[in-house]
A and B are shown apart, each in its own frame.
Chain A
Amino acid sequence: MEAIVLKEKQEDVDVPRRIGVYVCHCGLNIAKTVDCPKVAETAAGLDDVVVSKDIGYACSEPGQQQIKDDILEHGLDRVVVASCSPRLHEPTFRQMIQSAGLNPYLFEMANLREQCSWVHMDTPDAATSKAIDLVKMAVSRVRLLQPLKEEILPLTKRTLVIGGGVAGIQTALDLADNGYDVVLVEKRPSVGGTMAQLDKTFPTMDCSI
């Protein structure tokens, strides 16, 4: 059964896509070095790219709205956002395309800020060529991305706190007072940590214990 599904997926590869590309200026963070309109223009000429635009702030409310509107208007089935690191905003954009009815995994980012504009400030032309390449790579990848489904797993409502100093104690009490069970592990014979050795503490100058 599984194998059949996979086979279908592979065949699915040749079907034409409807890809939207959005090149973010990030204010001047990207646009100061990278020629964003040029990147968007070049991307517009790539296979399967239906819409390609440069955009002030892709992550802002109006930026996201514009992408969502395009998804519906142009029937986009995949989206590339060329902006910052996916480690920062991938979850934001996945949520956004999901709210427009797409599977969140049909999305790819090209990292123009951390990998182009911020690190090649003195060579804007080279930074722009690199940006174009990164967008090309993202488009070539997004074309093959497949919808994926998240699984729901059981979870143990219990927390291990390692260390019984002031931080560990506070965490344990906050969790426990909210109704969560806590296992507190302390290597010394008593909790208290470094704090217990202090007398008065600033700024209130009162006792630490």
Chain B
Amino acid sequence: MTDVGRHPRIKLHTLSEVVDVKGYVGNFDVRILKKARYVDEKECTACGDCAEVCPVVRPDEFNLGLSSRKAIFSPFPQAVPSAYVVNINECLGHNPSVCAKCIDACDKGCINFHMSDQEIVESVGSIVVATGLEPYDPKELDEYGYTRFENVLTSLEFERLINAGGPTKGEVLRPTDRKRPRSIGFIQCVGSRSAKKGGNYCSNVCCMNTVKGTLMLKEHYPDIDIKVFYIDIRAFGKGFEELYTRSRRLGVHYLRGLPGTVEEDPDRSLRVAVENTATGKLEIHHLDMLVLALGIKPASSTQKLQEMLGLQLTPDGFFLEAHPKLQPVDAATRGVFYAGCAEGPKDIKESVTQASAAAARAIRLMHKGEITSEPITSQVITEHCKSCGKCAEVCPYNAITVDVKKKIPAEVNAAACAGCGTCAAECPFGAIIMNHFTDPQILNQVEALLEEEPKEKILAFACNWCSYAGADFAGVSRLQYPPNVRLIRTMCSGRVDEKFIWEGFEKGAPVILVSGCHIGDCHYIDANHWTEKRIKKIHKKMEKSGIRPERLQLEWISAAEGIRFARVMERMEALRQSVTEEEIAETIEILKNRKK
């Protein structure tokens, strides 16, 4: 930890959050909001004189409220940077100074109430997301009595109690009477592996964390009675099974079955009712203290970052990697990598392994000092351009410049263009060519698929990042769906031009699906907003010309939604069956006349 603070190549911003990211792989501009510490980070020696005189006493978050701290405090003894910090919302006031005792106490004059939040802009070539985890909040699982009984602790609270650096200096004491408990129970899978509450995934670390806790307890107090209530003990890592057998050998009682209820006895100890699934019998256990092995949830900042960087999430809410086996630390967005629990629950060893992998992947990207850009960008045919400005308006990257007043034709900055193709779809004059996804290329696919028996087929457009990936996920999961679906891949649903739809219907398509990333998840910032608008427009036109608008569907399907993809295809098939041959013929007639 201290190495990070003193490494000449690492610039550390604490109390800081990323608020905006612009740019693309190789050249990101990052805006960071650095909150004021009110203590000079470099000058502070962490002597603690300020905290001694501070009159405000608050629960210490680091010890989960098991001890107290002042309004000016050091987060924990080994903190990096080793400087105090003022919680300004708790401070009695400094403007005008009503207290200011700390200012007088600090000989070095490090405390400065005039500090203000700063906005910092940094340029980087790659980004590693290592936002960690949030422990599961067991309040909703109240059959275990966490909110009702003081002697029910979370695994993190227990961790602070048994920690030599914790509030009790490693002495395990019952919160109610501050006596050493004679018996302790651990309940596993709190917030994990449950379809009802918490996550339905395994949190990976809680089994071994409990095993570790039992070993520490037995080391401190060999005669303590320990019971562990579990579904399975997952000791799958190197050296893990040994620790588990050691724990059993030391007399820790592992009992298969999760408790149904926990009640309190008059002496404040706990009465745990559990069905022992090994014997099939209902058992009542009396325990002095109970520890809930909390599961791991995604960090609260996950959603915000996901939107900012255009990343994807798994249904559990963790970041989704580009490929689960071959690119386990890459994001689908080029230049972004994952490390640690941001990507899924993992222990320290795995987090460190993944962190080194992420560093290596970032170096692999950066070491040449230059980057080859994908040539899948748009291009303006200057002579067709009427300088209307529509393309510049829809471009999510501001990559197109056009002077509407002076009638200077549009120009695309290829380096800034990410290749969504929305401009090409929106240009009313056909003046933009989207390389590798040109109109003729896509129209050829439409034609080929509707060449034979068009009435039997479902034409579906899918964006590369979400919906096409969702179809891949349906494949990997072996989900079966109607075999008459034919996908056409575009980079973004924003590329799906109105004329592709008309061409499809004119060639006899009974139904057409346009699918893309969910709103807010678009890989091209917000290009799919234009998809949505365009489809609404087409729906109106369909209605006006007497074509049933339902025959064109818009669906958002994410990369993780294989099941949803299969369901949508089933729905499309039902819809297709509702379209008669007469209806298709009529549509073809309408569209042909429209052209005349």
Contact = CB atoms under 8 A, between A and B. Distances in A.
B55 interface: no
Nearest to A175: B359
Closest 10 CB pairs of A and B: A167-B340, A114-B475, A170-B355, A174-B359, A190-B79, A203-B239, A168-B130, A155-B26, A126-B483, A163-B130
B373 interface: yes
Interface string B1-31: 1011101011111111110000000111010
B520 interface: no
B448 A197 contact: no
Contacts, number: 366
User: Which residue, of A115, A127, A180, A202, has the highest number of chain B Cβ atoms within 10 A?
Assistant: A202
Contacts of A134: 486
B371 A155 contact: yes
B131 A162 contact: yes
A181 B440 CA distance: 46
A167 B350 CA distance: 9
Interface stretch (A52-60, A75-83, A137-145): A137-145
Contacts of B354: 167
B interface, size bucket: 35 or more
Interface in A160-179: 160-179
Interface residues of A, number: 95
Interface in A166-209: 166-205, 208-209
A190 B13 contact: no
Nearest to A121: B480
Contact of B435 (A115, A118, A148): A148
B260 interface: no
B363 A175 contact: yes
Interface of A is mostly: mixed
A148 B123 CA distance: 29
Nearest to B338: A167
Nearest to A123: B483
A86 B162 CA distance: 52
Interface in B182-214: 208-209, 211-212
A194 B472 contact: no
Given A141-B441, A162-B131, A173 B4 contact: yes
B480 A148 contact: no
A73 interface: no
Contact of B366 (A122, A155, A166): A155
Nearest to B166: A199
Interface stretch (B270-278, B379-387, B507-515): B379-387
Contacts of A115: 471, 475, 487
Contact of A137 (B30, B211, B486): B486
B13 to A, nearest CB: 5
Nearest to A134: B486
Contacts of A182: 7, 9-11
A209 B15 CA distance: 20
Contacts of A120: 480-481, 483
A15 interface: no
B29 to A, nearest CB: 10
Question: Which of B130, B159, B352 has the most C-beta atoms of chain A within 10 angstroms of its own C-beta?
Answer: B130
A167 B18 contact: no
Nearest to A85: B472
A130 interface: yes
B243 A203 contact: yes
A2 interface: yes
B133 interface: yes
Nearest to B352: A170
Contacts of A88: 323, 326
A74 interface: no
A163 B129 contact: yes
B484 A130 contact: yes
A189 B37 contact: yes
B82 to A, nearest CB: 8
A136, A165, A208 — most chain B CB neighbours (10 Å)? A165
Interface string A104-133: 010000010111101111110011011001
A185 B18 contact: yes
A169 B130 CA distance: 9
B164 interface: yes
Given A163-B132, A174-B355, A175-B359, A186 B370 contact: no
A127 B478 CA distance: 14
A75 to B, nearest CB: 23
Nearest to A147: B375
B9 A183 contact: no
Q: Which of B18, B135, B355 has most A Cβ within 10 Å?
A: B355
A157 B469 contact: no
